[in-house]
Chains A and B, each alone.
Chain A
Amino acid sequence: MSGRCRMTTRREFLQSALASSAVVSMGGAAPSLFGKLASAETRGDGRVLVVVQLTGGNDGLNTLIPFRDPEYRKARPKLAIPSDRVLKIDEALGFHPSLGGVAGLLEEGRFAVVPAVGYDGPNRSHFESMDIWHTCMRKTAPRRDGWIGRYLDSAKASGSGDLPAIHLGPEQQPLALAAQTLRVPSIASIDRFRLQDGDDTYDRVKQLVESPRESATGLLDFVQSSATSALNASRKLEEIARNAPGAAGYPSTGLAEKLATVAKLIGAELPTRVYYVMLDGFDTHSQQAAAHAGLLDQWSGAIGAFFRHLSDLGHADRVLLLSFSEFGRRVFENASEGTDHGAAAPVWLAGPAVSAGVHGEPPDLTKLVEGDIPHSVDFRQVYATILERWLNTPSQELLGGTFEPIDFLRRA
C-alpha cells in the first residue's frame, strides 16, 4: 500500500469519526449541525443527485407514448396502449397508464423528460450498452472508472468523508460509481450493514485491517482500503439509522423501500452527493404487457412517494433524480408479445429544480434506423447538464468531450 493511499484513508477515517461523534453527542438535534458540516464541506450547496437505473432496457415507446401516431399502432398490434388509457401530457405524447405518480409530479412542475436519448453506433448488448452509459467510453478504451466516480474523484479536494456516494441495493455495484481514489459503499440494507458482533470485535477487526502491510499488490491494497471504508461507513450509518424518524406513505415495493432509506439519509444530511438505486426486469422479450405495467407502477409509485417524503422532511429542494435505461426496445413487437433490444429511449428527471415538461421532439416513427428509434440527444449532454448546472462541476474532462447542455433545469 502506498503512503499516499494510507494518508487518505486516515483522513477519511478522522472525518468519519468526527461526523459520527457529532451525531452521537447531539442526539435528536444532530441533523442541523450535521447539515452545516456537510454544506461547509461540499461545493454544491448540499445538492444531491439520486440515480434510479432501469435495468434491462425499458420500452421507452410504451412509457412515453405517441398515442396519436398511426405508426405506433401499426408497429404494436398487440402491445399498443389504447389512446383512452394514456395519461396525456400534450396533443402528441402521454404516459403509460401505470404512471400516475409521475404524472402527478409533472402537474406539480417537478418532472421532465428528454424523449430520445442515446449515442452514435448504438450497442444492443445489455452489458456493453450499460457500460457505455456508466463510463462514457467504448469498449476499446480502458474503463477504469465511471462518470460519477470521476466526478467524486474530482470533487474530493473539498472533502466528502467516506460516504461520497452510496449504492443502495443487493446488486453488484454499478460501474458508474467506480472511482480511482475513493471507495463507494454498496449497502444491501442498513440493518445488515454492520459487523454482527460487539464493539470488541469491531475494534479488533479494524486494528487488524488497518495494520501496516509491507508490500501490497494492487488487489490487496484495493481490498484493504475497501475494508477500512466499510468499517467506517457501517459505524456512521448505524448511528443515523438509530436517530432517523420512520417513513410513511410508500407503496410496499423494493424500490420504494430503497428510496425511503435514501430520503432518510438525505434528511440526516450526510455529506453524500450521489445515491444510486436500481430496478431490474425491463428485458421484456415475451409477454411484455403485464410485466412492464408492474415495473412502471413500481417506479412511478416509489418516485412519487419519495418526493412527498422529501418535501415533508424539508429537503426536496436539494434533490435531483435521474432515471435512465441502457437502451430502448425495437419499435416493432416480436412474436412472443414482447420487444427486443433497441436504441434510443427517454431519460427522466424529477425534482423541484427541473423545468417541467418534454424537452425535445417525440421520435419520428417513419424515420427509423434499422428498425430502431435514433437518438436526438447524446446521453452525455444529459450528464453535462447535471454536472455543470446541478453539481457545479466542469464536465469536459469528466465526460471526455464538450457536450451541449439541455434546458431541463430551471435557471436559478
Chain B
Amino acid sequence: MAFDWQTIDPEWSWSEYAPRGEAPWNAERASHLLRRAGFAAGPDTVRRAAELSPKEVIDGLFADPPDDEPFERESRDLSGAVLATGDAKNLAPWWFHRMLHSPQPLREKATLFWHGHFATSADKVNDGQLMFEQNALLREHALGDFTAMVQGISRDPAMLIYLDSATNRKSHPNENYAREVMELFCLGEGNYTEQDVRQVARCFTGWEVRRKKFRFNAYQFDSGEKTILGETAAFTGEDAVRRILEEPASPRFIARKLVRFFVRDEPDAPDTLLEPLAEQLRNDNMRVGGALRRIFASRLFFSAHAAAQKVRSPVELLVGLLRALDGSANVRVLADASDQLGQAVFRPPSVKGWDGGRAWINSATLLGRANSVRRLLNDENTRFGRGGLVELARRFDQSEPSRFVRWLATLLLAVPLPSDVERQLVRLAERGEQETNFREVLYSMATLPEFQLA
C-alpha cells in the first residue's frame, strides 16, 4: 500500500520514542540514527550506541567538543594550506576530510544541509576565502539560531556576489536577493507576492561588497517607507529579514525541509504533520536545535515510515561507505567522485541547491556510483580500520564468508539483504585470496539498489 501522510498522527509522530518489544533499541536503530544524524558509524561506535539509551546517544551528537580537540587543530592546519593556494577547488577535499573524520558528524551533516539551503557556488564567487567564510558561518549556526544565520547570509559577501547583489543602488534596486530570501531561504514560493519582492529589494539597497567585505552604503539606501507582507514602515534590510521570519509560513517552511532531509524524502509532509515542529521553532525563536532533537528522538524517526525512506546523496554514499567501516581515503578522490555523481560541494548546481531524493538517481549516476566505489576500492590510500577489510572483519570475528556478508549488510544497509542476493555474495566471498574477494563483495553490495537508500 502506498504511503500516505494523512494516515500518520502528528502527535504520535513527534512524541518521544521509547524502546519497546516491537520497537527495541538495538544496533539496527542505533545505525539508523547515526546514519541520518551523521554519515554512518563504524562497528565499535554502533555497538557502544546500542548499549546506551537513545537519549544519551542524541545528547552526544549535540555535545560541543573543546576547541583544542586534535581534529579541529588538524582541520585548521589543512584549511590554512588550502586557502594559501587561493584555489576554491581545494575546499571540497578539505570539507570531505571534515565529514569523514569529524567527531561531530551531526554538525557537519547539518552544515551540508544549510549549504544546500543557502546554496552558493564557488564557480561564480571564484574566491576560496569567501566560500570558506560562508561555510564557517553555516557551521557556526548549523544547530542554532536560524535568524542569525539569515541575517549573516544577507550580508555574506559570497552570497551577495553569487546573486549579483554586490552592488545595489537606490535608483534600480536589484530584485535577485530579495526574491531568493523569501522563495528559497525563508518562506517558500506562494507565500509572498511580486510586490513584496520589489519592496524587499528596496530594503537591501546600499548593501554592497567592497574589497571582499560587506559594506553599508548609506548614500545608496532607499530610506522611504515600504510595505512588506502587508506591513508598512521605513524598513531596513535587517527589518525586512525580521519581518519575513515573523510569517507563520517561515517555521513551517524550515520544518518541512528538515523533515525531508533528515526523515523521509517523499512525499512532502503536510502542514498538519509539521505543526508541532513549527510551533517548537516559533517558541524557540527560530533556534533549530530543539526541533532537530525532537526529530531524532521521535517515534516517527524510528518507525518504518522513516527507515530506508531516503535516497543516499553522493556524499552520504561515499562518506557513509567509509565511515561504516572505519575507513579513510584520499579526500581528493572523494570530492571528485561526489562531483561526478551530481554533488559538488561548494558548487551546487543553482541557488536552489540539490533537490535530493529520486533526483539523485538516473542511469548515469547509478553507473557512476558503481564506478566511483570501484575507483575508491582500487585506490591505494583507501583503508578500512588500520588496514584491510579482512583484518577489520577478523577483529570483530566476522571473517568467515557467510558471517562476513551478513555483518557487512548490517553495517551498510538500511533494509534486509534479499536472501537470493545473500547467497550470491557468500559464493563470491568464498573464492580465492581473501582481501580481493572481500573488496569484491563490498563493491557488489555497494552497487545494490538497497545500498542507495539510507
Contacts and interface: CB of A to CB of B under 8 A. Distances in A.
Interface of A: 123-128, 139, 167, 170-173, 183-188, 192-197, 204-205, 207-209, 211-214, 217-220, 222-224, 226-227, 229-231, 233-234, 285-286, 334-336, 338, 340-341, 370
Contacts of A128: 183, 189
Given A186-B364, A336-B164, A219 B349 contact: no
Given A125-B179, A192-B368, A205-B444, A226 B363 contact: yes
B153 interface: no
Nearest to B366: A230
Given A211-B421, A227-B366, 4 more contacts: A230-B364, A285-B163, A336-B164, A336-B167
18 contacts: A124-B179, A125-B179, A127-B352, A185-B362, A188-B364, A188-B368, A193-B363, A195-B370, A205-B447, A209-B447, A209-B449, A213-B418, A214-B418, A219-B266, A219-B308, A223-B366, A223-B449, A230-B362
Interface residues of B, number: 57
A230 B171 contact: no
A124 B194 CA distance: 8
Nearest to B375: A196
B84 interface: no
A213 B368 CA distance: 23
Nearest to B308: A217
B448 A172 contact: no
A230 B363 contact: yes
B63 interface: no
B186 to A, nearest CB: 14
B424 interface: yes
A334 B352 contact: no
A218 B371 CA distance: 25
A171 B367 contact: no
Contacts of B190: 139
Contacts of B420: 211-212
Contacts of B428: 204
B452 interface: yes
Contact of B189 (A125, A212, A224, A233): A125
A204 B265 CA distance: 30
Contact of B374 (A183, A186, A196, A340): A196
A84 B452 CA distance: 57
Interface in B293-347: 308-311, 340, 342
A136 to B, nearest CB: 17
A217 B189 contact: no
A153 to B, nearest CB: 16
Contact of B311 (A127, A223, A224, A230): A223
A281 B203 CA distance: 27
Contact of A173 (B197, B311, B362): B362
Contacts of B453: 219-220, 223
A164 B215 CA distance: 53
Given A204-B444, A217-B309, A193 B364 contact: yes
Contacts of B367: 192-195, 230-231, 234
